[in-house]
């Protein structure tokens, strides 16, 4: 499989949101095009093309510098923590964009490992600036918003949705810290109940490995039991996803975000999160990612 085919196959089979797939396709394509160049795009000097499959942090750092960072680093070379620290301190937005590009390439090389094209992916953690979200940006719900969401979820019954037990479970799984792509990948064969009402679950990753273990609170366990009692048989006997669509097929990672939007729309405190602020300064409606970062009882450690 050549590098472009790998990119297309990875994104076509991933659970990423369409907007994220488009962004990752743009960034990785930029890297692949840079690898094929026979001259430095910045200086015009001759150079040897780079094998993208065999590239490592050094080559990716050169691509980042040549195509994105040189205008911000001035006379500094992109050669390690000092350059990353400078970007973080003086150009945090640029540093965050750089980290997203590193994330895109990390996924690309993980896909190469999953397809046995390479054995070990390059360690790209050394290229991350680690700049957090801007101060004041909400990537999780406030305690009041969480309380309102739980109330709205409890009221999300048969008059709201034919599949209300499934919808309630989705919200609780997000509050347990599962990301949207993990929620839709929970495998019904990897559900392990405990006597106290809690459950252990595992959500397969992009490579369909068993995935990280989540221990669900008894509150989520009760929602899981309620859904299992009404969960339909999948249209395909080989489909093992816990969460099924109305067509009895696996859902997509964008579905939890759509559901959260529908539930949030039932309460003004979730629709209009900062009514005292001018419209242009208000927070956007809550998302499934924001719920996953919130936690059922307290903010997750990571």
Place of tokens 């392990």: 192
Residues 211 and 205: beta-carbon distance below 8 Å:
yes
pLDDT at 55 (0 to 100) = 93
Q: How many CB atoms lie within 10 A of CB 17?
A: 17
121 φ, ψ (degrees, to nearest 5) = -75, 155
The CA-CA-CA angle for residues 121, 125, 130, to 5°, reads 150
Measure the CA–CA gap between 99 and 95, rounded to whole angstroms.
6
Give tens-digit pLDDT for 148-182. Answer: 999 999 999 998 899 999 999 999 999 998 888 88
**pTM of the predicted model over 0.85:** no
State mean pLDDT over 234-241: 90
H-helix or E-strand spanning residue 34: helix 18-36
Measure the CA–CA gap between 108 and 147, rounded to whole angstroms.
38
Measure the CA–CA gap between 270 and 109, rounded to whole angstroms.
38
Residue 97 to residues 64, 180, 272, 276, Cα–Cα distance (Å): 11, 22, 28, 31
Least confident residue range of 65-74, 105-114, 210-219: 210-219
Calculate the CA 4 to chain-centre distance.
Answer: 22
Question: What is the C-alpha radius of gyration for the chain, rounded to an integer number of angstroms?
Answer: 22
Please state, rounded to an integer, the average pLDDT across all residues of the chain: 86
**All domains of the chain in start order, with CATH:** 3-127 (no CATH), 143-292 (1.10.443.10)
Least confident residue range of 129-138, 161-170, 260-269: 129-138
Terminal C-alpha separation, the chain: 35
H-helix or E-strand spanning residue 201: strand 199-202
Measure the CA–CA gap between 130 and 117, rounded to whole angstroms.
29
State mean pLDDT over 3-29: 87
pLDDT band at 231 (very low <50, low <70, confident <90, very high): very high
Residues 120 and 53: beta-carbon distance below 8 Å:
no
Residues 15 and 206: beta-carbon distance below 8 Å:
yes
The helix, strand and coil proportions of the chain, stated in percent and rounded to the nearest 5, come to 50, 5, 45
pLDDT at 281 (0 to 100) = 47
Calculate the CA 112 to chain-centre distance.
Answer: 19
Give tens-digit pLDDT for 184-214. Answer: 989 999 999 999 999 999 876 655 566 778 8
Token pair of 133 as six digits: 């979200």
Q: Is the pLDDT of residue 273 over 90?
A: no
């Amino acid at each position: 499989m050549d590098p472009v085919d790998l990119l297309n196959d990875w994104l076509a089979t991933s659970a990423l949101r369409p907007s994220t797939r488009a962004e990752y396709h743009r960034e990785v394509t930029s890297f692949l095009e840079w690898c094929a160049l026979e001259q430095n795009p910045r200086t015009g000097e001759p150079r040897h093309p780079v094998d993208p499959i065999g590239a490592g942090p050094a080559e990716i750092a050169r691509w980042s510098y040549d195509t994105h960072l040189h205008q911000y680093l001035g006379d500094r070379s992109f050669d390690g923590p000092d350059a990353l620290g400078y970007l973080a301190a003086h150009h945090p937005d640029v540093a965050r964009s750089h980290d997203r590009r590193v994330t895109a390439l990390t996924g690309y090389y993980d896909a190469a490992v999953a397809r046995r094209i390479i054995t070990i992916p390059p360690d790209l953690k050394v290229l991350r600036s680690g700049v957090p979200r801007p101060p004041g940006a909400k990537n999780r719900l406030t305690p009041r918003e969480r309380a309102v969401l739980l109330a709205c979820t409890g009221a999300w019954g048969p008059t709201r949705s034919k599949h209300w037990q499934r919808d309630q479970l989705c919200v609780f799984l997000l509050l347990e810290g599962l990301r949207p792509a993990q929620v839709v990948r929970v495998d019904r064969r990897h559900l392990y109940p405990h006597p106290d009402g809690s459950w252990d679950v595992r959500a397969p990753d992009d490579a369909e490995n068993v995935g990280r273990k989540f221990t669900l609170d008894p509150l989520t366990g009760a929602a899981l039991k309620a859904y299992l009692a009404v969960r339909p048989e999948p249209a395909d006997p080989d489909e093992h996803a816990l969460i099924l669509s109305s067509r009895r097929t696996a859902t997509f990672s964008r579905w939890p975000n759509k559901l959260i939007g529908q539930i949030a729309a039932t309460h003004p405190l979730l629709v209009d999160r900062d009514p005292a602020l001018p419209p242009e300064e208000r927070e956007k409606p809550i998302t499934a990612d924001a719920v996953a970062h919130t936690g059922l009882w307290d903010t997750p450690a990571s």
